[in-house]
Amino acid sequence: AAFTGFSPDYVAKKFREETGMTIGDYIRNSKISEAKSLLQYSELSLAEISELLSFSSQSFFTSVFKQVTGVTPKQYREQVQK
């Protein structure tokens, strides 16, 4: 918002109008998308992925991941590596 010169509320409202989602939802979905890629194509641990994507803890990462995808990060990794 500071970069644009508009108020944070205005930027949030316009973002939602244009994308149909909140800025927070967009960031969360982007992080989970990146986590899926890291789980599939890297050998990084869940703790390393959690830290890399700036989650406050591994347990919070696991909770958010399951909320979005319906499975835990470990389950997701096992599914995509079959």
**pLDDT (0 to 100) of residue 1:** 77
Note the pLDDT tens digit of each residue in 20-79: 999 999 999 999 999 999 999 999 999 999 999 999 999 999 999 999 999 999 999 999
Model confidence, pTM = 0.87
- What are the distances in angstroms from CA 19 to CA 5, 35, 50, 65? 20, 22, 26, 21
Q: Are 38 and 44 in contact (CB under 8 A)?
A: yes
Please state, in angstroms and rounded to a whole number, the distance separating the CA atoms of residues 3 and 8.
Answer: 10
CA distances from 63 to 7, 15, 31, 56 (A): 32, 26, 13, 11
